Chain A
Amino acid sequence: KQEVTQIPAALSVPEGENLVLNCSFTDSAIYNLQWFRQDPGKGLTSLLLIQSSQREQTSGRLNASLDKSSGRSTLYIAASQPGDSATYLCAVVGGGGADGLTFGKGTHLIIQP
């Protein structure tokens, strides 16, 4: 059974800092890995999707890397802003026939102005 772990569970940093969120998964046979953002009372917004054959994806100030063999991914946020405050979730799709996502518990991020 696939398990996804995110570290740290919570993080508070001053505005402008660069930061790294970590995700690990137990079964390396994944189809893809996605990073989501969740704001209170709202649904999930997809930030980046990395196919199993890829090593990284970039979007603006966000960069996600994937090391499938070691079961790890990182989300790098450059020059953090207060608007980045949210919960960040990592999720994987397994290599089997179903397409459902297996999520970690998330990292609750606070950017202090």
Chain B
Amino acid sequence: EAGVAQSPRYKIIEKRQSVAFWCNPISGHATLYWYQQILGQGPKLLIQFQNNGVVDDSQLPKDRFSAERLKGVDSTLKIQPAKLEDSAVYLCASSHTRLRGGAKNIQYFGAGTRLSVL
């Protein structure tokens, strides 16, 4: 079974530029997450999708970050304009479905995209 695919693996941009990250979840997984991991920190949830609908985006800085999952499969996360503090690893994860009724629903993570903003 193929894992969660993310691209690019690395990206270097200057502040105020825009950048986009792509994620392809495990086949059949309805739930998709984007996390931001700053160096030395644990990952922080940015947004959760269930199919193509948003479940939780309470920690997404909506003035500069946007995300979409138009067909309920692949997803893109965009930053426009980027700031120095956006330098981080952006992790995508997927799970089979949402947590309900005792389902364990383990999240599977991609390798991430490392973003450096200069």
Contact = CB atoms under 8 A, between A and B. Distances in A.
B56 A100 contact: yes
B104 A49 contact: yes
B61 interface: no
B64 interface: no
Most buried by B among A42, A51, A99: A99
Contacts of A89: 42-43
Interface of B: 4, 31, 33, 35, 40-45, 48, 55-56, 58, 91, 93, 95, 98-99, 102, 104-112
Contacts of A98: 48, 55-56, 58
Nearest to A93: B99
Main SS of the interface on chain B? Answer: loop
A32 interface: yes
A43 B111 contact: yes
B99 A100 contact: no
Nearest to A45: B109
A100 B109 contact: no
Contacts of B98: 99
A34 B35 CA distance: 16
A38 B93 CA distance: 14
Interface string A91-113: 10100011111111110000000
Given A31-B99, A99-B48, A99-B55, A46 B42 contact: no
